[in-house]
Amino acid sequence: MIKPHGSKVLNPLYVRDTLRREQLLVEAQQLPSLLLNSAAAANAVMLGSGYFNPLAGYMNLADALNCAEYMHTVDGLFWPVPIVNICNASAAIKAPSRIALRDPNVDGNPVMAIMDVAIIEPVTDAQLEFMATKIFATSDLNHPGVATFLGLGTQLVSGRVDVLCLSYFQADFADTFQTAYEIRSEIAERGWEKVIAFQTRNPMHRAHEELCRIAMQRLNADGVIVHMLLGRLKHGDIPATVRDDCIRKMVEIYFPKNSVMVSGYGFDMLYAGPREAILHAIFRQNMGATHLIVGRDHAGVGEYYSAFAAQEIFAQHVPAGALEIQIFCADHTAYSKKLERVVMMNEVDDHGKDDFVLLSGTAVREMLANGQLPPPEFSRPEVADILMRYYQR
């Protein structure tokens, strides 16, 4: 199986030994507490799940600035975005010290982790804007990722962590949420060797379905993991439970058995386009995938990134040997009326825009809200039916 990023074995930071975890939870009740923001809590989940291997905790300011500017830590670990705990820490939090990190997304704010605070550093507005501009390629506050990042706080608290719970994901998505080490175990059980990861924050329409099938056929892959984001999205995105139902229904009906895993991970979407695409590749390598599909406007939002910027960054800015996972570059896919099948639009000749079945997201939402199913060339009727019930509700 493919090696994890930056180490020979995966080192998830979740404390899996039950007795040790219970001891740490007791200790946490006596420690000063820091209530995390959602971004830092999402980072804790990813650290605990093994997706952010080989990181041992939250980065300090030097590493954060270095990752933002050069895409590697001070010690040279290739990493595309800072993994940080930026907040407004209280006077009770000091360095060096041991503190409890509490979950902002669960009632009662239970302990998520214990952190050995190495240093607490002020982070200036100029430093935050510098990092945001590098990560998101813009400092525009209308960009949802920029707005979130610039509003996190004025102090950066760094240090190693022992993760004690994975927030609400295990309870709310018991059949879907998996850690990186759980996915590695399932890949081994299935006997897969060449494994494709498909990133999604949306329900899968015919074009997405066929893109997975095309990638599997061309790479002669054993299977594909449809790996959906389960964390915080921007306003207007479809809830994870609805996406989960849609994807499972599509896989059940239209894919052979033991060819698709439906899984999910707990993270807040950054909408960082090219930089986030690299992050996606790193944590898919950590979960055991050998290939990641990177399509048009991967992890983008609005008009902030060119259509294929997320593909170009791998060719232009990822050093040779930095990653073992390989990228499957894909164009926009759509149903061809001429060929009567879904195709990559850049691979067919003699086609104009009117030769494809193309619908905007707004048009599809209006159709579903009005009780009208999109054409079967665009969306499987079983999937559209689930979405229609959601929009009408």
Cβ atoms < 10 Å from Cβ of 94:
12
Q: In Å, what is the CA distance from 127 to each residue of 66, 132, 167, 239, 312?
A: 11, 9, 30, 34, 27
Alpha carbon 129 to chain centroid, angstroms: 23
Q: Which amino acid is at 22?
A: E
Contact 212, 226 (CB under 8 A): yes
DSSP track, 340-363: TEEEEGGG-SS--GGGEE---HHH
Residue whose token pair is 């420690």: 31
Residue 160, SS3?
strand
DSSP structural state of residue 72: B
List Cβ neighbours of 175 (8 Å cut-off, separation of 6 or more): none
Alpha carbon 289 to chain centroid, angstroms: 14
Angular region, 78: left φ>0, alpha ψ -120 to 50, beta rest: beta
**Active site positions, annotated:** 201-202
Please work out, in degrees rounded to the nearest 5, the angle formed at the alpha carbon of residue 58 by the alpha carbons of 123 and 17. 155
- Rounded to 10°, the helix 125-136/274-286 angle is 80
Strands (DSSP E) contained in 223-360 are: 223-229, 260-265, 291-294, 326-329, 333-336, 341-344, 356-357
